[in-house]
Structure 1
Amino acid sequence: MALYTKRGTKLEVTEIKKNAVSKALREIYIDGEYAFPLYENNIRALKIKEGSIIDEMFYQEKLFPLISKNALMDGLSYIARVNCTTGQVKEKLKKRKYPDAAIEQVMAYIEEKGFIDDYEYALSFAKISVKKGKGEKYISFELLKRGISDETVNEVISLTRDESKLFSVAEKKLSAILKGKEKPDYKELNKLKEYLMRQGYGYEEISEAVSRLMIEYED
């Protein structure tokens, strides 16, 4: 709800309810409509109760900065505990019913500080999923669900598609080099790497493909 329709408006706290996703948060209702969440200790410190009157100055100078700070702390706590995307942080704060303006401030701060890299998250998720045998539809669905942009999803899927092709080429070539031998030695691995380099693949992607191959041979 918009707390103030004109300068100097005073509004009444009509209800204080428990928040559905956080035991410590309380939902503050103003004139019968949901307004914002506060922690119990905030409510006690500010002496807010049903029937309290909140004016514009109090909200702008005291409440909104506190609400924004709470949202930021909740967002940073979530980031510290979970490998997540910006979309997941935003959804977490929405579930706690923080005002859009507070959420926007938090997301801007997180982006400015570089606390989350959606591209790296998406690329890592896609690579792990490919190794587990998951298809492109699964990867796309899961990343979009986590709030990753269409552009990033398409880019990482394209990259992992290329990596899958490289792995298939490396696997086939190594099998030909080994000629039935159970495990490759140092010389045979170097022979494989040289072959892949001649095919135009880069050092890092070759190293990753060979490491992945070795895991399979060790298993």
Structure 2
Amino acid sequence: MSGSSYLPLVAILRGVQPHECLSLGHILVDAGYQMIEVPMNSPRPLESIGLLAQEFGQDVLIGAGTVTSVEQVQAIRAVGGRLMVAPNTDAKVIRASKQAGMYTMPGCITPTEALLALETGADALKFFPAGLTPPAVITAIRTILPAGTLVCAVGGIDGSNMAAYMMAGCGGFGLGGSLFQPGISAEAFKRNAETLMNCFISLSQSQESQP
């Protein structure tokens, strides 16, 4: 399965502990998620990524977020991670990620960064933080991007603003605080996961049915 074949909804488990990542992973996979990110500033992130990759890596794109160095890219790939999500546009990190065969989603906020990321090999663009790139900004930037570019909004995304970003041209999202926060109960996490997934699927189907 190629990166473009995965449902573009990234579950961000910032702050997850290794001992809980598999139970949360099962909830996500059961809810339909196909991309799971453990940010590098989480406790023992490589351990969690390795566990998730071993359990779900054949069917789900597992990897890291907040990736800021070539060394981190290499460490993530070494434990089985195949997803690289960065908060910024760093050509060295993007190239290293692509050379390692990883699905690469760097962060950008300006047309210059967006075009540089694509030129360097990015598979998708992460507009982050979404609060600084409201729908009107993404609509404008999309006009200068190559057709078919996957644009994802990340940072403060929930069921209340997903529709506006989709109308602006976002094909995917990164879900952080609206999905997971350290200490959340399994029941609350499952509810969040299902609610956000249902919202995304409903909006996607509605958009596809429009002439």
The question of a shared fold, defined as TM-score above 0.5 by the shorter chain, is answered with no
Q: From the two aligned structures, give the one with the greater helix fraction.
A: 1
TM-score category of the 2 structures, normalised to the smaller one:
under 0.3
Length-normalised TM-score, structure 2: 0.27
- Higher-Rg member (1/2): 1
